[in-house]
């Protein structure tokens, strides 16, 4: 965040822009001379579908052409996969793009945007960018508290962001709680369900939000191709919402906000159900294994249903999260520090390949013994 004084001798951003703490991505480098295991960004260890890679490569022969600005093929493929009306789908340059567009469409100066205590850091950025004021509702045991969210709503609230499962916690709330939240919001408040990790959840009481969106005028669901589909490098997100919300977002989004390679790869990825299932199956095996191993070391692990775990460390000298992070990096294991979320003594670790998971567990074992 800039601390430079305002100058009349050059253009000056709005005060709200200068109050934004820029989003810092997960690290992607380890110590020199050791093999890198990047477990900082919740990427799938299986990579992208070979069919998506092939579709991506074919686009290289026609890079002079603009992409389909309406993303018709991708919206139709998404609609076919989930049984949705493509006219109620908008695609974006990652789901972050759509979160910003929703905030810009519904939040203005003097308005408030609400989100849970450990909500995705893009939420306050999007709210401030739109000119609004971020409002945070406390969580209980690293889990969204619906009553706290409802209690935080004011006459100025225009939008509520809810990640389910949450990031960085990995915890979730059952769908009856999501419905209770929706029912408790004023009709003019837009509820944005961020379901970026929905494909990983294996709980009978979980739903991503499709049915609720289908029967509501003030609920939107956002999804991404960055996680289970392995297309983080191409930046593809999509939202499903009421027709009037779709209309508003389409009025302000960029005319070619999804590039041609992403559109082609996205269609191939979502049609390759076997590849996505393999990624989900891998996570279903390794999430409990990693959790049990870390808890066996005396660490605390939030009950995650996503493809990552939030790890809490002992509160004693030399065994805190920053010390563990430095030790892990020396072994080539890169995870995500959590100071920006107010969780200074925690690290977030992606469920990676068998080799990466075992390397992380071995490094933490040695760290705690030292």
Backbone angles phi, psi at 106, to 5 degrees: -120, -10
91-116 pLDDT, tens digit per residue, is 999 999 999 999 999 999 999 999 99
pTM for this one? 0.93
DSSP class of residue 72 equals: H
Mean pLDDT, range 260-279, rounded to an integer: 98
- Alpha-carbon gap, residue 17 to 12, rounded angstroms: 10
Token pair 């380890």: residue:
30
Percent of the chain with pLDDT over 70: 98
pLDDT the model gives residue 5: 58
pLDDT the model gives residue 14: 84
pLDDT the model gives residue 1: 45
pLDDT the model gives residue 281: 98
Q: Is the dihedral of CA 157, 158, 163, 169 positive or negative?
A: negative
Q: Is the pLDDT of residue 31 over 80?
A: no
CA atoms within 13 A on the CB side of 214: 11
DSSP class of residue 112 equals: E
| 3 state SS of 94 | coil
In this structure, of 175-184, 315-324, 348-357, the range with the lowest mean pLDDT score is: 315-324
Q: Is the pLDDT of residue 4 over 60?
A: no
Residues 6+ apart with CB under 8 A from 368: 297, 298, 299, 319
In this structure, of 184-193, 293-302, 313-322, 329-338, the range with the lowest mean pLDDT score is: 313-322
Q: Convert the chain into a string of H (helix), E (strand) and C (coil).
A: CCCCCCCCCCCCCCHHHHCCCCCCCCCCCCCCCCCCEECCCCCCCCCCCHHHHHHHHHHHHHCCCCCCCCCHHHHHHHHHHHCCCHHHEEEECCHHHHHHHHHHHHCCCCCEEEEECCCCCHHHHHHHHCCCEEEEECCECCECCHHHHHHHCCCCEEEEEEECCCCCCCCCCCHHHHHHHHHHCCCCCEEEEECCCHHHCCCCCCCCCHHHHHCCCCEEEEEECCCCCCCCCCCCEEEECCHHHHHHHHHHCCCCCCCHHHHHHHHHHHHCHHHHHHHHHHHHHHHHHHHHHHHHCCCEECCCCCCEEEEECCCCCCCCHHHHHHHHHHCCEECEECHHHCCCCEEEEECCCHHHHHHHHHHHHHHHHC
pLDDT the model gives residue 364: 98
CATH fold for domain 50-272: 3.40.640
CATH of domain 15-47+274-369: 3.90.1150.10
Query: Which ranges in the chain are annotated with CATH 3.90.1150.10?
Result: 15-47+274-369
- Alpha-carbon gap, residue 232 to 43, rounded angstroms: 7
Mean pLDDT, range 2-20, rounded to an integer: 75
Positions of E strands within the chain: 37-38, 89-92, 112-116, 133-137, 157-163, 190-194, 219-224, 237-240, 300-301, 308-312, 333-334, 336-337, 346-350
Are the CB atoms for 136 and 166 separated by under 8 Å? Answer: no
CA atoms within 13 A on the CB side of 229: 28
Q: Is the pLDDT of residue 222 over 70?
A: yes
Confidence band (pLDDT; 50, 70, 90) for 141? very high
Query: Which ranges in the chain are annotated with CATH 3.40.640.10?
Result: 50-272
| Tokens found for residue 23 | 């989003």
pLDDT mean across residues, the chain = 95
Confidence band (pLDDT; 50, 70, 90) for 29? confident
34-71 pLDDT, tens digit per residue, is 899 999 999 999 999 999 999 999 999 999 999 999 99
Nearest to 106 by CA among 258, 257, 242: 242
- Alpha-carbon gap, residue 36 to 312, rounded angstroms: 23
Are the CB atoms for 39 and 333 separated by under 8 Å? Answer: yes
Are the CB atoms for 241 and 191 separated by under 8 Å? Answer: no
Are the CB atoms for 236 and 94 separated by under 8 Å? Answer: yes
């Amino acid at each position: 965040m800039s601390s430079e004084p305002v100058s009349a001798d050059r253009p000056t951003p709005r005060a709200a822009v200068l109050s934004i703490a820029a989003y810092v991505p997960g690290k992607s480098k380890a110590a020199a001379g050791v093999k890198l295991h990047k477990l900082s960004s919740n990427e799938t260890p299986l990579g992208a579908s070979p069919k998506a890679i092939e579709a991506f490569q074919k686009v290289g022969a026609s890079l002079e052409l603009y992409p389909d600005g309406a993303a018709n093929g991708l919206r139709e493929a998404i609609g076919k996969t989930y049984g949705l009306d493509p006219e109620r789908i908008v695609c974006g340059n990652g789901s972050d793009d759509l979160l910003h567009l929703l905030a810009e469409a519904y939040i203005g100066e003097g308005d408030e945007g609400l989100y849970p205590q450990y909500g995705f850091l893009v939420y306050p950025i999007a709210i401030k960018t739109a000119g609004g004021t971020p409002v945070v509702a406390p969580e209980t045991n690293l889990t969204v508290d619906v009553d706290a969210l409802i209690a935080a709503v004011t006459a100025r609230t225009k939008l509520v962001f809810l990640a389910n499962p949450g990031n960085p916690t990995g915890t979730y709330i059952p769908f009856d709680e999501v419905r209770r939240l929706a029912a408790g919001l004023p009709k003019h408040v837009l509820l944005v369900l961020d379901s970026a990790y929905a494909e990983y959840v294996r709980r009978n009481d979980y739903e991503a939000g499709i049915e609720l969106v289908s029967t509501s005028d003030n609920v939107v669901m956002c999804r991404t191709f960055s996680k289970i589909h392995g297309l983080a490098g191409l930046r593809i997100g999509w939202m499903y919402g009421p027709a009037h919300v779709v209309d508003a977002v389409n009025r302000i989004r960029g005319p070619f906000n999804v590039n041609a390679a992403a559109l082609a790869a996205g269609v191939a990825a979502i049609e390759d159900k076997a590849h996505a299932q393999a990624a989900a199956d891998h996570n279903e095996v390794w999430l409990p294994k990693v959790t049990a191993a870390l808890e066996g070391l005396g660490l605390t692990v939030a009950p995650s249903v996503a493809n990552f775990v939030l790890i809490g460390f002992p509160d004693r000298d030399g065994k805190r999260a920053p010390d563990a992070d430095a030790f892990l990096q020396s072994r080539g294991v890169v995870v995500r520090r959590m100071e920006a979320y107010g969780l200074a003594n925690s690290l977030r670790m992606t469920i990676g390949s068998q080799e990466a998971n075992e390397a992380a567990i071995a490094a933490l074992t040695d760290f705690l013994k030292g």
